[in-house]
Structure 1
Amino acid sequence: MKKYTNNKRFRLFALTLLGFGLWSCDNNLLETIPNDRLSVDVFWKTENDAKIAVNSLYTDLDGTNLVSWDAVTDIAHTNQPFNVEAYIESGTYDATSSKVFNEWSAAYKGVRAANYFLENVDKIPSANATVINQLKGEAKVLRAYQYIKLTGLFGPVPLVTTSLSLQEGREVVNATVPELWDFIDKELTEAAALLPATYPAADKGRVTKGAALGLLARANLLAGRYQKAADAADLVIKSGAYGLYESYEKLFSYAAENNKEVLLDKQFIKDTYSNGIFQQLAPYSQKNGGSTFVPTKALVDTYETTDGKKITDAGSGYNPAKPYEKRDSRLKYSVFLEGDVLPSGIVFKPQPTSGTADAIGSTYIASTTGFNIKKYINTDDYANPGNSGINIILLRYAEVLLTFAEAKIELNQIDASVFSAINLVRNGRNDVKQPSVTAGTQAELRDLIRRERTVELAFEGQHLFDIRRWKTAEKVIPGPVYGITFTNAQGQLVTVEAVSVNKVFDSSRHYLWPIPQKEINLSPLLKQNPNW
């Protein structure tokens, strides 16, 4: 069973206080304190106030929405055509898209909350500067996290670091992308100096120095600042504070929460602050699981064979009639495949003629590719699929290792440290044993590291950003969506194609999302991204 930390419950108490506002009564009605907002008359008085305030910032982190970003790439598909992500897949979205607006507004909500905290925390008369500085460091990291996402999705967005009046809000302008990356770099570097390497058990889940440095590595990789990315990742590696969890299969289970591989996650609690990831992603047979986003053949084909070859390589031994045999074990740990036992105890049978609830075409909710996402689908949640308490991982050590290796490859600084980082991801767990890589040209290693990131981090929200910075999105996204290959009644191999689906990616504008039209209407000085 999952053990909940006191820190998790304390954060929810903080969220409740901040959500409803703090209030008090006074005999003099002319001096009452507003009860519809947080008031400086009763708050920002103690260290505990500061802790409550910073705890509330964690609720603005991304959660299950991470999966939706992969669904608009080549490795996953939005299963129902009426979902807003389906319009992004088909290229028919614009600046009025609710998905675009919601991601923008959620990020700036987090920015606004962090700004408010940083503007007010110094009002607290504390003799413990270390505690206040730690809390400032947490807020800076959480604000930088939002700006990494905003810059990655939208490019030149407004850089807002203070609370804005209504008039100031109408006058915001786009920062340049280099200015944004400079700010993020400075913010995370400063924060890392303020944060501890670890916390007591009751404070698990708080931002650490390692999380700040890991995000610094991610940001600089996205920015193409490879030396800075390598240096930040190297600091995390050499800290010795992190390592790979021994089992990839169990990495996204309750038993593995707060393990040594997790640098940053969003924490949830059943019954109190839950998420619906089981209900969202599970196969339809699992109490009407939503199959909202499903894997594609393009992803499944990316996993190597057990001898380290691509399935298209000569001598790989890949058998289209038995496509899942002798494959990288991360495939079966990430994707529900034909014959898998599902949380309810039944066998997964997605073939169109199987007669099961998961058969392709049996209902519009069943997976149209015959694959379902397995990460985060835990038997513990089967009884109440909409009440999952599983933490959603936002940054883990495997990504840091791959960031280090990729940055060094791009710099053509290919040495033993590069192979060590790659091979730790490929075979450093008890249940993942892909052959070690010991040599290769820059081009060969670039291809390999991109493949490693794709399969290792599938459904964790990084692939959209990766194919944008690699400038490969225009090649890998467009076209039909394919699924399972099976043998039909006539003994022929048939590959499923999702009906009436054609992914579109226009390189002249889709490398950035449009700035929401609502924002431009409110702030006329904002400039729209090219060709939107």
Structure 2
Amino acid sequence: MKKIIYLLISLLATTSCKDFLQEDPASLMVDNSFYKTEADAEAAIVAVYDGLNDQSSIFYRGIYLLAELPTDNAECGQGVANANIFALKNYTYGPVNDRIYVLYTAVYKTIASANVAIDKIPAIPLSDAKKNRLVAEARFVRALLYFNMVRLFGDVPLVLNQVTSLDEVNTPRTPAAKVYEQIIADLEFAEQNLDATNTSGNQGRATKAAASGLLAKVYLTLKDYPKARDKARLVLDDAQFGLLESYFDIFTPQNRFNKELIFAIQNKGNTGTSNGFAMALFLPRSTIPLSGGGTVAGNSADVPTEEFHNSFKAGDLRKDRTFFTEYDAGGGKVTFRPHWYKFFDPSSIANLSEGTLNFPILRYSDMLLTYAEALNEIDGPSAESLEAVNKVRRRAYGKPLATANEAVDLKGLTKTALQNAILEERRWEFGFENHRWFDLVRTGKLLNTLKEKGYTAIKDYNILYPLPQRELDVNKNLVQNQGYTN
């Protein structure tokens, strides 16, 4: 019950809808009486994590539609009926696009929940250590969300406190540099105050390593390569994390918590509450027969491109974990065009909303490739930068991780060649994990890569998305990104 009350209160802080901000003495009274106990503080943090778990709006599909679909990795399958989704794929979208609006408002709603926790928890009678840890969790989530927003939209409204009146709604856009300063400040606080390890009591929550890992990615994006190197190295040196021997095993339901996952969005399926990882959109549509009759209720909406499927080199074991083209669910084997397989949970084949896999945000292999990229940008190819990439490659081809292998190891590359190799490696390593658009924009290769593959409608300004028109209609202090018209 407390969690429900908290979620209602947090709507007061949403910056995108005036309806939630009408003064209501009853709701204000609930607000004043709620943040009193340790249980209230914990409930506030659970609500923040719950925001991340809004799969249709944020992770995984909300960002998928902006960071995977509009790239050479993915396309619209036969299950897509929304013209706004086709527009994202075809680079014909504008400010009036319901998928951009859904993501934008869902992110700010969760930021609002984080802000409430950050504002209210310090006044609750708790030990300083616990207080700081809970606030650090909220600040980590806020930093993660702003990191996505500033990369997707550029300058965005930077809201850092609970919004309690209409006077605070019309926040102008904050320069991206200032947003990044806040992201770094939040993550540095998180680094200092989060738990070092996950136990059964805090499984799935952000840790110090998650903050360091996200900082590494922030610094890589900002081209501060020495700091990106140093933060990635902190995670690589943390003995609780490492590469699994098998790429396949990262994504098996029975192994949903493993040493490769530094931070992941939690899903709890097979509970009968439809709260698990939703699989229908990426599974084949009415193709796979079930043993008791009927077919798997997939929709074939979110599908990979044939070009991405065919880009994997012979012997790369990641291909058969990223995609599948045949399956037997008990009613006989059938074949179909490539579909995403990475987050498929066979135990939920009859109820596709009950998948048990977690959605990775930070993986150990990401830190290796971040480290390699930073080293290469600082001093060009070195034995250390090549070894970081080669560990990922050896695992991909089923070779011992720590042993040099002539067949798969990169060697003798120029700086530019290693840059390109790392970008390719990231594509194969992180398919369906929503990295591709961010990687192409960060490396300055989005426009040329997609133009070369036939994306004729893409324009120079598509390195940022438009702010939703409904936001501009409500908040007259907002200015649209260059190139976009209503």
TM-score, normalisation: structure 1: 0.79
Name the structure 1 match of 2:91. Answer: 91
- Asked whether the 8 Å contact 1:330–1:432 carries over to 2, the reply is no
Q: 1:73 pairs with 30, 54, 71, which one?
A: 71
Q: Gaps spanning 5+ residues in structure 1: where?
A: 1-12, 23-32, 306-326, 351-369, 481-501
Name the structure 2 match of 1:296. Answer: 305
Name the structure 1 match of 2:415. Answer: 442
Shift of 1:82: 2.6
- Asked whether the 8 Å contact 1:246–1:430 carries over to 2, the reply is no
- Structure 1 residues 116, 243: closer, same or farther in 2, change over 3 A? same
Residues 1:389 and 2:344 are matched in the alignment: no
Shift of 1:14: 6.3
Q: Tell me, in whole angstroms, the C-alpha distance in 2 between the residues paired with 1:211 and 1:292.
A: 32
- Asked whether the 8 Å contact 1:72–1:85 carries over to 2, the reply is no
- Structure 1 residues 208, 276: closer, same or farther in 2, change over 3 A? closer
Shift of 1:18: 2.7
Deviations 1:227-273 (A, max 9, x none): 22111111111122211123211321211111111111111222236
- Structure 1 residues 205, 103: closer, same or farther in 2, change over 3 A? same
Shift of 1:347: 3.0
- Structure 1 residues 258, 34: closer, same or farther in 2, change over 3 A? farther
Q: Which runs of 4+ in 1 moved over 6 A?
A: none
- Aligned-residue CA RMSD in angstroms? 2.4
The residue type paired with residue 307 of structure 2 is: A
Q: Tell me, in whole angstroms, the C-alpha distance in 2 between the residues paired with 1:34 and 1:429.
A: 59
Q: 2:6 pairs with 18, 28, 50, which one?
A: 18
- Asked whether the 8 Å contact 1:14–1:53 carries over to 2, the reply is no
Q: Tell me, in whole angstroms, the C-alpha distance in 2 between the residues paired with 1:75 and 1:436.
A: 24
Name the structure 1 match of 2:13. Answer: none
Name the structure 1 match of 2:239. Answer: 240
Q: Tell me, in whole angstroms, the C-alpha distance in 2 between the residues paired with 1:344 and 1:158.
A: 51
The residue type paired with residue 94 of structure 2 is: D
- Asked whether the 8 Å contact 2:323–2:339 carries over to 1, the reply is yes
Shift of 1:134: 0.7
- Structure 1 residues 254, 461: closer, same or farther in 2, change over 3 A? same
Q: What aligned pairs does 1:10-409 form with structure 2 within 5 A after superposition?
A: 15-19=3-7, 39-61=30-52, 62-65=58-61, 66-68=63-65, 69-80=67-78, 82-83=81-82, 84-126=84-126, 128-270=127-269, 271-272=272-273, 274-275=275-276, 277-284=278-285, 285-286=287-288, 287-305=296-314, 327-337=315-325, 340-344=326-330, 346-350=332-336, 370-409=337-376
- Structure 1 residues 430, 345: closer, same or farther in 2, change over 3 A? farther
- Asked whether the 8 Å contact 1:277–1:377 carries over to 2, the reply is no
Residues 1:464 and 2:472 are matched in the alignment: no
Single out whichever of 444-453 and 180-189 deviates more from structure 2.
180-189
- Asked whether the 8 Å contact 1:73–1:463 carries over to 2, the reply is yes
The residue type paired with residue 289 of structure 1 is: G
Q: 1:473 pairs with 446, 461, 469, which one?
A: 446
- Asked whether the 8 Å contact 1:343–1:378 carries over to 2, the reply is no
- Asked whether the 8 Å contact 1:64–1:277 carries over to 2, the reply is no
Instruction: Give aligned pairs, total.
Output: 446
Name the structure 2 match of 1:513. Answer: 465
Single out whichever of 416-425 and 206-215 deviates more from structure 2.
416-425
SS state at 2:460 partner: coil
Q: Tell me, in whole angstroms, the C-alpha distance in 1 between the residues paired with 2:210 and 2:157.
A: 25
- Structure 1 residues 273, 377: closer, same or farther in 2, change over 3 A? same
Shift of 1:504: 4.5
The residue type paired with residue 91 of structure 1 is: Y
Q: Tell me, in whole angstroms, the C-alpha distance in 1 between the residues paired with 2:276 and 2:357.
A: 8
Shift of 1:168: 3.5
Shift of 1:387: 2.4
Shift of 1:275: 3.8
The residue type paired with residue 303 of structure 2 is: V
Deviations 1:134-185 (A, max 9, x none): 1111011000011011011101111111123444444311111221122211
Identical amino acids, percent of aligned pairs: 27
- Asked whether the 8 Å contact 1:73–1:89 carries over to 2, the reply is yes
Q: Tell me, in whole angstroms, the C-alpha distance in 2 between the residues paired with 1:450 and 1:216.
A: 19
Deviations 1:255-308 (A, max 9, x none): 111111111111122223624532111112231311111111321233223xxx
Shift of 1:412: 2.6
Shift of 1:201: 1.6
Q: Tell me, in whole angstroms, the C-alpha distance in 2 between the residues paired with 1:524 and 1:41.
A: 31
- Structure 1 residues 118, 19: closer, same or farther in 2, change over 3 A? closer
The residue type paired with residue 334 of structure 1 is: T
SS state at 1:277 partner: coil
TM-score, normalisation: structure 2: 0.86
Q: Which has the larger radius of gyration?
A: 1
Q: Tell me, in whole angstroms, the C-alpha distance in 2 between the residues paired with 1:14 and 1:219.
A: 35
- Structure 1 residues 245, 167: closer, same or farther in 2, change over 3 A? same
The residue type paired with residue 328 of structure 1 is: D
The residue type paired with residue 49 of structure 1 is: D
- Asked whether the 8 Å contact 1:281–1:292 carries over to 2, the reply is yes
Q: Tell me, in whole angstroms, the C-alpha distance in 2 between the residues paired with 1:508 and 1:516.
A: 19
Q: Tell me, in whole angstroms, the C-alpha distance in 2 between the residues paired with 1:40 and 1:14.
A: 11
Shift of 1:328: 1.0
Q: Tell me, in whole angstroms, the C-alpha distance in 1 between the residues paired with 2:174 and 2:302.
A: 33
Q: Tell me, in whole angstroms, the C-alpha distance in 1 between the residues paired with 2:324 and 2:267.
A: 24
SS state at 2:264 partner: strand
The residue type paired with residue 301 of structure 1 is: N
Shift of 1:479: 7.6
Q: Tell me, in whole angstroms, the C-alpha distance in 1 between the residues paired with 2:146 and 2:342.
A: 27
Q: Tell me, in whole angstroms, the C-alpha distance in 1 between the residues paired with 2:81 and 2:274.
A: 28
Name the structure 2 match of 1:412. Answer: 379
- Structure 1 residues 222, 505: closer, same or farther in 2, change over 3 A? farther
